[in-house]
Amino acid sequence: MADRSRGFMRDEFVTYAYILLYIALSSGQIFFNKWVLSSKEINFPYPLGLTLLHMIFSSVLCFLLTKVLKIVKVEEGMTVEIYVTSVIPIGAMFAMTLWLGNTAYLYISVAFAQMLKAIMPVAVFILGVAAGLEMMSCRMLLIMSIISFGVLVASYGELNINWIGVVYQMGGVVGEALRLIFMEILVKRKGIKLNPISLMYYVSPCSAVCLFVPWIFLEKSKMDGNGPWNFHFVVLSLNSLCTFALNLSVFLVISHTSALTIRVAGVVKDWVVVLVSALLFADTKLTVINLFGYAIAIAGVAAYNNHKLKKEASRVTSETPGDGESIPLVSLPNTERGEDDVVPHRS
């Protein structure tokens, strides 16, 4: 009995350690990106270039893990048709999301960017209805209205609003919503089941190519104009490594907990980012109206998450996989750039 109790406590400790690791990496990566892009010491105000480095780093590391070291097995079932019709759109939208989201940090504060990201479920739902993946209902309309109202109130309370930054951030939100829609189509309609490493193995090279083309036209000349490229190799390598570690932490959390836990952890992370950014960055000035509006939006997001989880639970209960069948993975609406939150349905 004592050994069983100690084993249970050890498992609980490991679970909470993974959750804290996810929250720390997720919020820390946002702060890290903001610092790299805006720091005078680093002098690397190139969101396209930074995101391109992330994708190249992720592509190389995934190749090493799956093909050289063979620590992780790449899921089978990928065909040329599926890659062209699903993976390429996912990679393109992923690239768009990271590019625009990181660019927004040059114009608006981290806290305000995080508040704007709360509108994500609204974008996902509207596009889901258009794609035939969601059904319009009075309850969902109410939830979407609450989230939208909260984001509007938070925006009204912003002291130093920059509309260029808002446009970039909302463009990133639309890109992320489209990525999630394509992910759902990949899982539901085409039956492909990918773990996070397999997903990044396929998506990262595609995203890198999608980022390389605009980088050539939009940022390369600026970097050349500033003289010889002065890369802070250690800082940029650590930044890229943290991005990859974030995806691994998501994999660890979902393998030890549930979809509900990762969603709750995501909400906690959002508040950590908003509050801590006010202490770290001079451009962040929170107001009571900011926080009140964001609280309303987060309440709507919580209601949306609860509705989706109940819907998925009822679907899985009616479609419980038999012995030997694999458990499908779905992508979560995520408010953090650079993550692929993929969680297993559990009956």
Taking each helix axis from N to C terminus, what angle separates 259-280 and 110-117, rounded to the nearest 10 degrees? 150
Which residues of the chain fall below pLDDT 50? 321-347
Tell me the domain boundaries of the chain.
10-225+232-313
- Amino acid 199: pLDDT: 83
- Amino acid 157: pLDDT: 82
Residue 114, CA distances (Å) to 119, 137, 202, 345 in order: 10, 27, 28, 27
Between CA 201 and CA 207, with CA 204 as vertex, the angle to 5 degrees is: 150
- Amino acid 207: pLDDT: 94
Helices (H) and strands (E) in the chain, counts: 13, 2
- Amino acid 180: pLDDT: 83
- Amino acid 342: pLDDT: 37
- Amino acid 168: pLDDT: 96
- Amino acid 6: pLDDT: 66
What is the pTM for the complete model shown?
Answer: 0.80
